[in-house]
């Protein structure tokens, strides 16, 4: 298998009648998906698109996005899923940046791209939905039906870009990460193996499709001749019903989503679940104890980013009751697999000894190929074939990776480096704290001061002084927050991570 297009055709040949996708009652087999992909390649080609041309997608979660991905994977186009939660100006920037030859959109989101239509009249517009609202756009199903189901007029190659996924932009303007076919093939194999996906299983996706966390498991399931169920958005009870009814074997959530599911799990039959991935941030031992008590030892913890997968904990390692060391390592993000090289580097590029924080640097065949139209950022991130993640972490004596901060989020107070993760862990150790986020705010005397945002459990009461005093029992005084604000929620980027940039804008 040299391209994902090869995988589509392989599954059509050997597993053509097996179900590949389920979305809102609509079921597609592997054979039907391959045919739709071939038809779309033909229709896009007839519309003037050629190898390497971009297809922008402006839609909430829907089967049509997977269809377009299939056309890119098979025909050498580049799929560009756009974050529909952004402002119109941000969407316009991404469209101008990638200059798509076709835009596929849902009517409710057209306003986000209407300025681009005014400026660009020579592109194909395709509208998703049963009732067409834009008479100047091609209806999606008619566009599919018009294509030839036979051999596509062009085929993808291993060096062809297949997706551009924009980063979440927690530290600056989003960058378009380019993933080539060979990168995605390698990442797909790793995903199937490292996520411990059963062959022929069913994976439930409720993450937004413009995020790599939705696409990776989908490809892993295709690699295992399985199927993917797609939800329009994350709804805990809907997810539980789907797991019970469709006998789902795997899914992915961030910690807060897992907690929301457990809160309403009740008497649902979840016995089919075999691999539950937790990503976005390490899960607390307390949360994992609760999850394992309800679902068993089925949890996989993974750490990665748009630019590539880095490390993970296998199911047999996620056991908070296997001793103090095992519980402590649940606060890690695991170890690198045989396919990934991982280093912790200081400012001079030298390897840090165990226990000493430095930048997380990694290398694999599945990592991204660079940033679209951004050679400066590519040079900063890709150095000598290594991805410099911008995350700060350390390795313990057995090479488990512990994250302590984003490099740009590190707090320097009175000349001392303070890692927000250490303070957040101290706060979260209190039984009344559900979640905490820490930032640095300007301070005339110390340069920066530590400020914490804390979510308390229902009915819990805590004062600012009590929170600070609790931290002093666990970490050095200079690391403890000087200010604590109790909140009902925390701002997040689409992958579920806390949006520190948004917190800093309101934190001072």
- The position carrying tokens 């790599």 is 212
CATH code of residue 459: 3.30.300.30
- pLDDT at 350 (0 to 100): 95
CA distance 94 to 456: 38
Tell me how long the chain is: 508
CA distance 381 to 371: 9
Three-state DSSP class for 483?
strand
Residue-wise pLDDT for 149-188, tens only, equals: 999 999 999 999 999 999 865 445 789 999 999 999 999 9
Domain-embedded: residue 282: no
Q: How many CA atoms lie within 13 A of 425 on its CB side?
A: 21
Domain-embedded: residue 236: no
CA distance 298 to 196: 10
Q: In sequence order, what are the beta bridge partners of 202?
A: 227
- The position carrying tokens 């834009």 is 134
Residue 202: CB atoms within 10 A of its CB come to 23
Question: Model pTM?
Answer: 0.86
Q: Which residues of the chain have pLDDT under 70?
A: 168-172, 281-283, 495, 507-508
Domain-embedded: residue 106: no
Q: Residue 57 — φ and ψ, nearest 5°?
A: -125, 120
Indicate the DSSP class of residue 320.
T
Domain-embedded: residue 501: yes
Q: Decide: 66 and 229 in contact? Cβ < 8 Å.
A: no
Spell out the residues 6+ positions from residue 508 whose beta carbon is closer than 8 angstroms to its own: 441, 442
Q: How many CA atoms lie within 13 A of 144 on its CB side?
A: 19
- pLDDT at 59 (0 to 100): 97
Domain containing 472 equals: 419-507
Measure CA 90 to chain center. Answer: 19
Among candidate residues 455, 449, 453, 457, the one with its CA nearest the CA of residue 503: 453
Domain-embedded: residue 113: no
Q: Decide: 261 and 234 in contact? Cβ < 8 Å.
A: no
- pLDDT at 508 (0 to 100): 59
Indicate the DSSP class of residue 342.
E
Domain-embedded: residue 423: yes
Give strand ranges (E) for 271-323.
275-278, 299-305, 308-313
Domain-embedded: residue 88: no
Q: Domain total for the chain?
A: 1
Angle at the Cα of 300 from the Cα atoms of 295 and 302, rounded to 5 degrees = 145
Domain-embedded: residue 489: yes
């Amino acid at each position: 298998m040299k391209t994902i297009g090869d995988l589509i055709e392989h599954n059509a040949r050997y597993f053509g009648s097996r179900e590949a996708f389920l979305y809102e009652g609509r079921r597609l087999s592997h054979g039907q998906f391959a045919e739709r992909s071939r038809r779309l390649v033909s229709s896009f080609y007839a519309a003037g698109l050629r190898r390497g041309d971009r297809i922008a997608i402006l839609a909430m979660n829907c089967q049509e996005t997977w269809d377009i991905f299939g056309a890119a994977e098979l025909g050498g186009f580049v799929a560009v899923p756009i974050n529909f939660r952004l402002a119109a100006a941000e969407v316009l920037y991404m469209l101008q940046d990638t200059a798509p030859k076709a835009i596929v959109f849902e009517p409710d989101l057209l306003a986000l791209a209407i300025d681009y239509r005014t400026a660009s009249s020579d592109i194909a517009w395709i509208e998703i939905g049963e009732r067409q609202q834009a008479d100047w756009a091609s209806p999606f199903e008619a566009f599919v039906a018009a294509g030839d189901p036979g051999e596509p007029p062009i085929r993808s190659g291993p060096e062809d870009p297949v997706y551009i996924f924009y980063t979440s932009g927690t530290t600056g303007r989003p960058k378009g990460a380019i993933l080539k076919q060979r990168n995605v093939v390698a990442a797909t194999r790793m995903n199937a193996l490292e996520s411990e996906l059963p062959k022929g299983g069913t994976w439930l996706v409720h993450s937004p499709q413009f995020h790599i966390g939705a696409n990776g498991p989908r490809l892993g399931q295709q690699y295992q001749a399985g199927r993917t169920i797609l939800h329009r958005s994350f709804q805990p009870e809907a997810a539980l019903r789907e797991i019970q009814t469709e006998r789902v074997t795997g899914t992915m959530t961030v910690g807060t989503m897992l907690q929301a599911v457990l809160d309403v799990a009740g008497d649902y039959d979840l016995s089919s679940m075999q691999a539950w991935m937790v990503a976005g941030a390490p899960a607390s031992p307390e949360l994992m104890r609760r999850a394992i008590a309800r679902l068993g030892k089925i949890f996989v913890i993974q750490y990665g980013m748009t630019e590539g997968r880095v490390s993970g904990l296998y199911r047999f390692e996620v056991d908070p009751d296997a001793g103090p060391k095992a519980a402590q390592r649940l606060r890690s993000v695991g170890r690198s697999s045989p396919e990934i090289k991982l280093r912790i580097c200081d400012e001079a590029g030298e390897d840090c000894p165990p226990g000493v924080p430095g930048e997380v640097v990694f290398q694999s065949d599945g990592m991204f190929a660079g940033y679209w139209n951004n050679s400066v950022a590519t040079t900063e991130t890709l150095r000598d074939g290594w991805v410099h993640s911008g995350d700060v972490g350390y390795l313990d004596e057995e090479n488990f990776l512990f994250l302590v901060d984003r490099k740009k989020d590190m707090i320097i107070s009175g000349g001392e480096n303070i890692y927000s993760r250490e303070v957040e862990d101290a706060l979260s150790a209190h039984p009344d704290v559900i979640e905490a986020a820490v930032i640095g705010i300007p301070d005339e005397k110390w340069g920066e001061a530590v400020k914490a945002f804390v979510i308390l459990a229902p009915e819990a009461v805590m004062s600012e002084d009590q929170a600070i005093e609790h931290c002093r029992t666990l970490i050095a005084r200079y690391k403890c927050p000087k200010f604590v604000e109790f909140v009902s929620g925390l701002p997040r980027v689409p992958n579920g991570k806390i949006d520190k940039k948004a917190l800093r804008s309101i934190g001072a």
